[in-house]
Chain A
Amino acid sequence: MAQERRVISVIVMNEASVLSRIVGLFSGRGYNIDSLTVAPIPESKYSRITIVTQGSIRVIEQIIKQLHKLIPVLKVYEHENLVEKEMALVKFPVSECLSDISALCAAYNGKIVNVGEDVIIVNVADEPHRVDNFLKAIKRFHPKEIVRSGVVAMEM
């Protein structure tokens, strides 16, 4: 069956072990997690977990139902119209062509955020597939380290 990519937001009670319940559900039932982000929702007792997953339509439907069954889960949103953003931090040797790197970053809503003696660090924030493109484009500048944040999403 065709694999679909889905972004799912799960609103959960902000309590101990809630993340292990979510992650355990995915591993125990053999579902994929492409990325996962968690943060408390301001001024509430809830947290938002954003999960990017893949599966057939049947599997996605099961994932959503099984998430609903967990006791501390308040809501599960399967996003259709959404804004997705992901951030990446990349470390380059300071010897690379900084103006080229800086120009590339600017094209992906990013900039140089730290300059050290040997390395610079840049960040970009964009749609996940654009972050993919950015990471391809900067390969020739010999990045020393790449950190991606995982996807966050908001319904339009």
Chain B
Amino acid sequence: MQISGAQMVIESLIAEDVSVVFGYPGGAIMNVYDEIYKQDGFQHVLARHEQAAIHAAEGYSKTTGKVGVAMITSGPGFTNAVTGLADAYMDSIPMVVISGQVPMSLIGTDAFQEIDAVGISRPCTKHNYLVTDAADLPRVLKEAFYIASTGRPGPVHVDIPKDVTAQIAEFVYPDSVHLETYKPNVKGNLRQIKKAVDAIAASSRPMFYLGGGIINANASDEVRELVKMCNIPAVETFMARGTLRVDDPNLVSMLGMHGSYAANMSMSETDLMIAIGARFDDRVTGKLSEFAKHAQVIHIDIDPASISKLVPADFPIVGDVKNVVNQMLPLAKEKVDGEKYASWRETVANFDKLHPLTYEDSDDVLKPQWVIERIGEILGDDANITTDVGQHQMWAAQFYPFTRPRQFTSSGGLGTMGFGFPAAIGVKRGDPERVSINITGDGSILMNIQELMTAVEYKLPVINVILNNKYLGMVRQWQTMFYDKRHSSTDISLQPDFVMLAESFGGIGYRVKTKEEFDAALKDAVEKNVVALIDVTVNRLENVLPMVPAGGSLFNMMLEYKDK
């Protein structure tokens, strides 16, 4: 079949079973948009900013497990998208992002809307391509989807000059890829796995350290079974929330800078850490030399470069988490006796009794933690939760009762303010039956507020719950604690009227100051099933606690903060 490069893009996306593309047109990508207009194989969702298009595709990917697809034009279209690419790269989200480029004859001439896109995307993508011949397009797109979704997932960027999208060439979409230089190792080494299981059986204070790789590998069921079978306490990273059910008796909440006392103390006391799909982020480990100091380390990960990068592993196991845990299950059943850890479980439970993850509620002012718990009580499993970045994000991770993987979507590695709302739009598109809640702050929400229009246009009713403290709260918290209360540029008392703002876009706004008003607003928004902003006035100076100061040891937590 002889077709144009632009038609090839469409045919390839359809062949990859893509059902939605998030994007924004422009000069260099117009040929492809012309073909989008003519087809009905997939939906195109017009975001109102390229960054938001990428975040929406990320949200869609996180909730469905499929590859997220976004399309943008050259120059500023591409540079606006870079934050999204970097975000997807840090959080290992499978994505294919297609950008237009100026025609080949103009590349290198500083042409209108020209930028070295592959030069910029190289360090923030898993791989990228500049396609110089339409005949290469089917192979490149096939490879792009394959690379994005296999091994450690990540975004792949494909840059296509305008004349290549017009060029006619033979199109046959390949059935398979032949990449001699890329062969991810998915099966774990059985001998190593046996040794690891023996180490678990020999240990007396073992701890599971569960990371986001479990969710990427769709291995939560297997991990739940392994944790139950071994009867060993487990901590989750921020990215792994929902791997275990909130009521799993072995779950000891989240660890790290804002982890629970029990999670951080048990990680400091353990003699064997079983790290699964986790990468020892500095926000998790605190001071590295003190992190799980007494522990031997089993580290299971698909990415060999993650193993022993920061903490040397005694039992490194490279492989797909799902395969490795499946290989572990029969061995663990035979060798590991959960009875043995009864006193250790008691120790961990006592940590939790001593300093449970909690907050002081108030009758005078709404507490942000209460709001999050309340959303959980009202919607629980029926909601998918996204967040922006800051205090509200940590409170959501601490206090929402997660019951399933892929319920929680947030920007973990890059920490991108403005991520939550567009991501929630993508989540709603991917899982329309559930309520899509974006828990956000009064700082973050304004970073992609224009997406109200996208959500209204495509009838993707996201409910934004703004925990409004009129501060850039997390920075304010650090300034209060570590900068002698010099609140430099963090007081954002000057604000739009969020109710009028929502209504001007065709959504609905609520102003909330009491518990009763919150319940009424949330229920009304869910019932009306429209795009909503719920502006919740919360306690201005609430701090996220516990807190391990940056660079401190996990066992040195601030459990409370008294104003001096």
Contacts and interface: CB of A to CB of B under 8 A. Distances in A.
B330 interface: no
Contact of A74 (B119, B130, B181): B181
A138 B122 CA distance: 43
Interface residues of B, number: 18
Interface in B70-94: none
Interface in A66-92: 66, 68-69, 71-74
A71 B181 contact: yes
A15 to B, nearest CB: 10
Contacts of A13: 180-181
A24 B127 CA distance: 13
B1 interface: no
Contacts of A69: 303-305
A61 interface: yes
A119 B127 CA distance: 48
A71 B147 CA distance: 9
A61 B303 contact: no
Given A61-B308, A71-B147, A74-B181, A20 B127 contact: no
A144 to B, nearest CB: 35
B305 A62 contact: yes
A68 B308 CA distance: 15
Interface in B110-131: 118-119, 122-123, 126-127, 130
B304 A68 contact: yes
A69 B318 CA distance: 13
B10 to A, nearest CB: 25
Given A17-B130, A62-B309, A66-B305, A71 B122 contact: no
Contacts of B303: 69
Interface string A50-69: 00000000100110011011
A14 to B, nearest CB: 11
Contact of B127 (A12, A62, A65, A71): A71
A6 to B, nearest CB: 17
Interface in B173-215: 179-182
A119 to B, nearest CB: 36
A51 to B, nearest CB: 17
Interface string B48-69: 0000000000000000000000
Contact of A21 (B122, B147, B180, B309): B122
Given A28-B123, A62-B305, A62-B309, A72 B181 contact: yes
A20 B179 contact: no
B304 A24 contact: no
Contacts of A74: 180-181
Interface in B279-305: 303-305
A73 B303 CA distance: 15
A137 B531 CA distance: 78
Contact of A71 (B123, B179, B305): B179
Nearest to A75: B181
Contacts of A58: 308
Given A16-B130, A62-B309, A71 B182 contact: yes
Contacts of B122: 17, 20-21, 24
A12 B181 CA distance: 8
A69 B119 CA distance: 18
A25 B515 CA distance: 52
A65 B118 CA distance: 23
Contact of B305 (A12, A20, A68): A68
A65 B301 CA distance: 13
Most chain B beta-carbon neighbours within 10 Å: one of A12, A66, A68, A69? A69
Nearest to B308: A61
A29 to B, nearest CB: 9
Interface string B129-150: 0101000000000000001000
Contacts of B132: 16
Nearest to B152: A69
A53 B181 CA distance: 23
A19 to B, nearest CB: 11
B124 to A, nearest CB: 10
A102 B122 CA distance: 48
B144 to A, nearest CB: 11
Closest 8 CB pairs of A and B: A65-B305, A71-B127, A74-B181, A28-B123, A71-B182, A65-B304, A66-B305, A72-B181
Given A24-B123, A65-B305, 10 more contacts: A17-B118, A17-B130, A20-B119, A65-B309, A68-B304, A71-B127, A71-B147, A71-B182, A73-B181, A74-B181
28 contacts: A13-B180, A16-B130, A16-B132, A17-B118, A17-B122, A17-B130, A20-B119, A20-B122, A21-B122, A24-B122, A24-B123, A58-B308, A61-B308, A62-B305, A62-B309, A65-B305, A65-B309, A68-B304, A69-B303, A71-B126, A71-B127, A71-B147, A71-B179, A71-B182, A72-B181, A73-B181, A74-B180, A74-B181
